């Protein structure tokens, strides 16, 4: 088979990162190898995100740039995948006729085959989104080509940390969000498929797994995931996965407070290899705004969950997502968000200015907040969050933490705590990525810690 080179650029969330891996695996079956040089590649894939207008603009400008390259290299193929592809479909080809393939979020498994036919067919748009999940159906999740639990031999170079998708889509319809439209209806993968896949990964050297989905704590709600137990839920899955021999660390993302049960919170106490880290997006600190966002919880309920989480797991590090300037957000509403920062003191947060997205309900809401007001609110929020993150990080100084090594180099090493804090070491350490070391933290910055091996 003639060898061809693909280059893939991934935008957006971890779901997209995982999808890029899947496309890479599909392409491997068609004679493609991954290259690092976009200009020399036979195939360039943009795996796109449309969560905010800016993310989408980035894709369009990249495509404009690729047009110039393709003028000089007519044999280069260009593929647009991901959420912009799903949402815009044929409109991408209309604006950017040099694009060869637009491939939707549920069609990525076929990328290799579709590229074969695209030579004879001209530009193709394949964005079927199946929402008829009456019969539980999950697309084949590729992990290692041809691997089953018994035939795989350990390959340490495979990496020590992996994402495993446990569900796709979202049914929540938060009024600002495109995901239910770009990823389709929520459907959970079968427990046995997930567990088997993780066994394969762990046997091949993976030490840390992150379970992925837009709303992992509603796992199992929309279709039966375990034929022997129709009430099987996310807490059950965490327990089952955590017992896989050789799995050192387990994480998951993302959760919605409306589906956070006591049983799940208790997992942070009961499951020893579940990392004490929880990303729990709150979005806003005002009940009125939460209601109009269709989030289905109140700030009182959220803070109660936070308190319980601390009760079950005093060391837990909480992070969140926040949107400022949602339509109709008053100064008072925004003060609610600022107050929440003081009550919870999140270890970190991702904050965004509200962005109108096509097809969402909020895009039709009147009372849009001025851009300058949004910017000022965001700056104020981020400044205070930075101070709080530093305060939080300083709590680690003088403590001994278990750190999983990620990289060792001549000029220093890097690892991560269970709480998901990056720790830098000044020296080259005699450890491999995935090894756990005990480190004494001696310095805290805003975004990372510094440590020395504790011996």
Question: Contact between 173 and ligand SF4 (CB under 6 A)?
Answer: yes
Cβ contact 431:437 at 8 Å: yes
In terms of CB distance, is 65 or 173 closer to ligand SF4?
173
* Cis amide linkage into residue 254, ω under 30° from 0: yes
Question: Contact between 284 and ligand SF4 (CB under 6 A)?
Answer: no
Q: Which of the choices ligand F3S, ligand SF4, ligand SAH, none does residue 12 contact, using the CB cut-off of 5 to 8 A by kind?
A: ligand F3S
Question: Contact between 83 and ligand SF4 (CB under 6 A)?
Answer: no
| Continuous segment of H or E residues that includes residue 385 | helix 371-394
Minimum CB–partner distance for residue 294 and ligand SF4 (Å): 8
Question: Contact between 172 and ligand F3S (CB under 6 A)?
Answer: no
Cβ contact 273:247 at 8 Å: yes
Among 23, 44, 46, 49, binds ligand F3S (CB under 6 A): 49
Question: Contact between 172 and ligand SF4 (CB under 6 A)?
Answer: yes
Minimum CB–partner distance for residue 170 and ligand SF4 (Å): 3
The mark string for 324-353 relative to ligand F3S (x by CB under 6 A, - otherwise) is ------------------------------
Rounded (5°) CA angle 190-193-198: 130
Helix, coil or strand: residue 362? helix
Minimum CB–partner distance for residue 253 and ligand F3S (Å): 12
Minimum CB–partner distance for residue 324 and ligand F3S (Å): 18
First-to-last C-alpha distance (Å) of the chain = 53
Question: Contact between 50 and ligand F3S (CB under 6 A)?
Answer: yes
Among 127, 175, 182, 277, binds ligand F3S (CB under 6 A): 182
Query: What part of residues 78-137 is at the interface with ligand F3S (CB under 6 A)?
Result: 82-83
**Partners of 8 in the β-ladder:** 45
Minimum CB–partner distance for residue 332 and ligand SF4 (Å): 24
Complete DSSP assignment for 186-244 = -EEPPHHHHHHHHHHHHHTT--EEEEE-TTGGGTTSSS---TT-TT--HHHHHHHHHTS
Phi and psi angles of residue 282, each rounded to the nearest 5 degrees, phi first: -100, -35
Among 103, 142, 174, 225, binds ligand SF4 (CB under 6 A): 174
Complete edge-to-edge strand list for the sheet that includes strand 348-353? 277-279, 317-324, 348-353
Minimum CB–partner distance for residue 68 and ligand SF4 (Å): 35
| DSSP conformation class of 427 | S
Question: Contact between 179 and ligand SF4 (CB under 6 A)?
Answer: yes
Cα–Cα distance for residue pair 5/28, rounded to 1 Å = 10
Cα–Cα distance for residue pair 181/173, rounded to 1 Å = 9
Residue nearest to ligand F3S (CB): 12
Cα–Cα distance for residue pair 217/257, rounded to 1 Å = 9
Q: Which of the choices ligand F3S, ligand SF4, ligand SAH, none does residue 85 contact, using the CB cut-off of 5 to 8 A by kind?
A: none
Question: Contact between 127 and ligand SF4 (CB under 6 A)?
Answer: no
Question: Contact between 279 and ligand F3S (CB under 6 A)?
Answer: no
Cα–Cα distance for residue pair 150/186, rounded to 1 Å = 31
**Which residues are at the interface with ligand F3S (CB under 6 A)?**
12-13, 15-16, 49-51, 82-83, 178-179, 182-183
**Which residues are at the interface with ligand SF4 (CB under 6 A)?**
170, 172-174, 177, 179-180, 214-215, 256
């Amino acid at each position: 088979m003639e060898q061809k080179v693909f280059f893939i650029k991934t935008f957006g969330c971890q779901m997209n990162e995982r999808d890029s891996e899947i496309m890479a695996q599909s392409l491997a079956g068609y004679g493609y190898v991954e290259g690092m040089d976009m200009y020399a590649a036979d195939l360039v894939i943009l795996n796109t995100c449309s969560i905010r207008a800016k993310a989408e603009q980035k894709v369009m400008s990249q495509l404009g740039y690729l047009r110039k390259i393709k003028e000089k290299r007519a044999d280069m193929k260009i593929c647009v995948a991901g959420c912009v592809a799903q949402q815009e479909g044929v409109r991408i080809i209309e604006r950017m006729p040099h694009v060869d393939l637009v491939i939707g979020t549920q069609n990525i498994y076929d990328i290799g085959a579709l590229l074969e036919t695209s030579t004879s067919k001209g530009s193709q748009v394949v964005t079927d989104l199946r929402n008829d999940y009456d019969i539980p159906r999950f697309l084949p999740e590729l992990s290692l080509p041809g691997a089953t639990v018994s035939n795989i031999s350990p390959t340490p170079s495979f990496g020590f940390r992996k994402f495993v998708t446990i569900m796709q889509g979202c049914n929540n319809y938060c009024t600002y969000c495109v995901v239910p439209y770009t990823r389709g209806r929520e459907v959970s993968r079968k427990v046995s498929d997930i567990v088997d896949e993780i066994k394969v990964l762990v046997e091949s050297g993976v030490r840390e797994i992150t379970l992925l989905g837009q709303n992992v704590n509603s796992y199992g709600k929309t279709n039966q995931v375990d034929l022997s137990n129709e009430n099987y839920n996310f807490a059950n899955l965490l327990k089952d996965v955590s017992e896989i021999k050789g799995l050192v660390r387990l994480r998951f993302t993302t959760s919605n407070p409306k589906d956070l049960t006591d049983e799940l919170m208790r997992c942070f106490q009961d499951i020893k290899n579940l990392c004490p880290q929880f990303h729990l997006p709150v979005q806003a600190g005002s009940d009125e705004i939460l209601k109009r966002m269709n989030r289905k919880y109140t700030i009182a309920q959220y803070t109660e969950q936070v308190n319980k989480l601390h009760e079950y797991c005093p060391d837990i590090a909480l992070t969140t997502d926040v949107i400022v300037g949602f339509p109709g957000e008053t100064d008072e509403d925004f003060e609610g968000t600022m107050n929440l920062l003081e009550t919870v003191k999140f270890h970190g947060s991702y904050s965004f200015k509200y962005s109108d997205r096509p097809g969402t309900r909020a895009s039709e809401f009147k009372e849009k907040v001025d851009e300058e007001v949004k910017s000022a609110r965001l700056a104020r929020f981020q400044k205070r969050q930075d101070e709080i993150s530093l305060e939080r990080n300083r709590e680690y100084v003088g403590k001994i933490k278990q750190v999983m090594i990620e990289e060792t180099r001549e000029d220093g090493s890097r690892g991560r705590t269970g709480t998901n804090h990056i720790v830098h070491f000044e020296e080259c350490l005699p450890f491999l990525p995935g090894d756990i070391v005990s480190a004494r933290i001696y310095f805290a910055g805003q975004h990372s810690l510094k440590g020395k091996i504790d011996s």
